[in-house]
Structure 1
């Protein structure tokens, strides 16, 4: 095998490995601060779209993952960013903060009537 083919193969392998990392970093997850709530929030790091899931008991089964889609303010944001989640230290808080680390904007997101809703972004 020629040296150029070996280098091309190595470059392709590195690119594929890098794509796996990019996909793995697309979402961030954060549990709700409320100590008696088994809910985890997720945010799409690029778009800011929110979601949440929690465990639910279902008779005669091991249970189900009950997931909530984005609702008002929780969908993709108008400007792509670098979104992350931050929880408060308030043990009765059921929501989380969605932060855009590029702009410093913050909103609060929580589950309301089976949707994840968020306040308007502010700084």
Structure 2
């Protein structure tokens, strides 16, 4: 009972301070890459949509290291929203989908050149989402239908 009282007090204090009670909620979600032989986890900031990633790496003479990849092109903070990550069921896919639950926008995020990069956000109902990728999309050649290259 005492813990409940503390939580209620904190929630009331936040409301009086003008802060939303969602401050108490977790700000990140974590999703593993679907690739079955890759030990990579993606992290997303649920409000800003910023995506980063970490994985285990071998290092001689140690128990190993945590290799982390910071946000690169397209993976930084987006317009405030309600973001999440969704992994496909494709067993060789190293990336994940970033989704905005409020707008329906989606993009694909993956590790490229030691950074997490994400394609531009699109909606499935948008005509632009069916067009070939632009030359500025990392690892994708326009018009070839090629998949992003993953390390």
Shorter-chain TM-score tier: 0.7 to 0.9
Partners in 1 of 2:93 and 2:60 — Cα distance?
29
Give unpaired runs (5+ residues) of structure 2: 14-20, 124-151
Q: What are the superposed Cα offsets for residues 49-74 of structure 1, whole Å, 9 maximum, x if unpaired?
A: 00000000111111111000000000
**Superposition map of 1:38-57 within 5 A:** 38-57=39-58
**By how many angstroms is 1:13 displaced?**
4.5
Number of matched residues?
112
Partners in 1 of 2:30 and 2:40 — Cα distance?
10
User: Structure 1 residues 120, 61: closer, same or farther in 2, change over 3 A?
Assistant: same
Q: Report the counterpart of residue 31 of structure 2 in structure 1.
A: 30
Alignment TM-score, normalising by the size of structure 2: 0.68
Give unpaired runs (5+ residues) of structure 1: 1-7
Whose RCO is larger (CA < 8 A, sep 6+)?
1
User: Structure 1 residues 19, 96: closer, same or farther in 2, change over 3 A?
Assistant: closer
Q: What are the superposed Cα offsets for residues 4-53 of structure 1, whole Å, 9 maximum, x if unpaired?
A: xxxx978435558x67742xx20010000000000000100000000000
